[in-house]
Structure 1
Amino acid sequence: MTSLLWIVLPYSAFVSFVLGHVWRYRRDGFRNYTRYPEMDRSQRFGSTAFRSGVCLIVVVRLIKVFTAEPHARPSGALHVVATIVQIGGVAAASVGAVLLFLPDLIAGPSHPVITPLDRITFPALSAALLSGVIIEYDPTTVAREYRTGETLFAWFRSLCTIDPHPEAMQHAPLIYQARGLILLLTLGIWPFTRLAGIFAGPVVRLVLRAVPRGSRELDGAATRA
């Protein structure tokens, strides 16, 4: 069970995230729910706020993952800056998520849902935010312990190696295990929800705009040669 939860499940979520984005691109090109003409002003603002907030949170969390030690919290100027940025990212992502989802929750979806997974997206995001706040201010952590560093961070870093350490999560407090599973759930279902195009959509549009221009430049160079 330990290997299933903390080795097989994470890699399955990673595969689902990658292959799911390929499927979504072939299905609709990430246009559903992210085409600005079909969104009102508040949803457009929410989309931008959510995208910016999540980017800030991910960057800060990755910095903490790879700089934290099991028995030492991040400290110094880097920690202060990271904390400020994270607070701003959480605020922006929270406002953006509310603006994106609240209209559909109140009045019903203006577009048909892609899959039933869309219905659990907002609860999953809310659980991820709440669990993050709880472990960030875990009152059971003593001065010389950093439970996030010795559980979630140690486990995640090990997944990037050929020798994963599921035992880091096996003996972790329940809230840490719950947060790990919530994040895996969110990662695994992301491409199959309306959020798939939040990040991939702009990237695809930029690439599609750049490719024809690059092709023209190459054709021109070939002609001159």
Structure 2
Amino acid sequence: MMSLLWIILPYSAFLSFAAGHVWRYRHDRFSWYITGPDVDRAQRIGAPALRIGIGMLVVVRLTDLFFTGPHNHPDGPLDIALAVIEVCALVAGSVGAVLLFVPDMIGTPARQAVTPLDRLTFPLMVAALLSWVAVKFDPNSSADANLTTETLFTWFRSLFTLHPNPEAMANAPLIYQARGLAVLSFLAIWPYTRLAGIFADPVIRFILRIRPELAASRTRLRAAGQQT
């Protein structure tokens, strides 16, 4: 069970994330419906807000991952800057997620834009947020005994070596295990939801400006998607 949860599952999530992006590119060139003419103003605002929020969170998490140890963590101006960025990222990401997902879930979109995985994405984002709060304010964790570093960071770093360390999570408190599983689930389904284009779509748009001859195939795929 330990190997299944903390070795097989994470590598499967990484594979799903990578293979899903390849499939999505071949399927519709990331021409997700949010860029269509039938999108309301709230969703047009929600997409970049979510992009900015998630982008800033990734920067903070990577900084923590590489510069934090059991008895070593960022302090001084860097710690303050990371805290400010994290708060701003959570606000932007939360507002963006609500604007992007909620209108179609409570309304009746012109076409079937919400998939079952889209409906699962929003609860997973809420679970990731709540688990972050639980881990961040865990009374059993402190600067001298940072449980996040000893469990989540140690395990995640080990996945990129030839020696995964599932014991770090197998012996972790429940809230740390729940956070790890929520993040893995989020990564696994990412390419198969409307979130697939959050970062990929701007890159594709930039490439199309450089290579305008590639725009025709994307236009055809988008037109075909709007008819289904």
**One-letter identity of the residue aligned with 1:95:** V
Aligned to 1:184: 184
Aligned to 1:28: 28
Offset, 1:83: 0.7
Structure 1 unmatched ranges of 5 or more: 214-225
Distance 2:36 2:112 in 1: 17
Offset, 1:32: 2.1
Offset, 1:113: 4.2
Offset, 1:105: 2.1
After superposition, the C-alpha distances for 1:158-186 in whole angstroms (9 at most, x for unaligned) are 11111111111110000000000000000
Identical positions, percent:
56
Contact 1:72 1:146 in 2 (8 A): no
Alignment of 1:66-81 (within 5 A): 66-81=66-81
**One-letter identity of the residue aligned with 1:129:** L
After superposition, the C-alpha distances for 1:39-68 in whole angstroms (9 at most, x for unaligned) are 211111111100000000000000001111
SS at match of 2:100: helix
- Name the larger-Rg structure: 1
Contact 2:104 2:114 in 1 (8 A): no
Contact 1:6 1:166 in 2 (8 A): yes
CA gap of 1:109–1:212, structure 2 versus 1, over 3 A, is closer
Aligned to 1:195: 195
Contact 1:115 1:192 in 2 (8 A): no
Aligned to 1:173: 173
Q: Once structures 1 and 2 are overlaid, which stretch shifts more, 178-187 or 30-39? A: 30-39
Distance 1:142 1:85 in 2: 21
Contact 2:104 2:113 in 1 (8 A): no
SS at match of 1:34: helix
Offset, 1:194: 1.2
Q: How many residues align?
A: 213
**One-letter identity of the residue aligned with 2:164:** P
Verify: 1:123 aligned to 2:123, yes or no: yes
Contact 1:104 1:110 in 2 (8 A): no
Aligned to 1:147: 147
Alignment of 1:87-166 (within 5 A): 87-113=87-113, 115-166=115-166
Aligned to 2:64: 64
Distance 1:128 1:9 in 2: 17
CA gap of 1:142–1:78, structure 2 versus 1, over 3 A, is closer
Aligned to 1:43: 43
Aligned to 1:84: 84
Distance 2:49 2:208 in 1: 24
Distance 1:152 1:182 in 2: 12
Distance 1:88 1:110 in 2: 33
**TM-score using structure 2 length:** 0.88
Offset, 1:98: 0.5
After superposition, the C-alpha distances for 1:76-109 in whole angstroms (9 at most, x for unaligned) are 2111101100100000000000001111122144
Aligned to 1:7: 7
**One-letter identity of the residue aligned with 2:177:** Q
Distance 2:108 2:130 in 1: 25
Contact 2:118 2:194 in 1 (8 A): yes
**One-letter identity of the residue aligned with 1:23:** W
Distance 2:207 2:177 in 1: 38
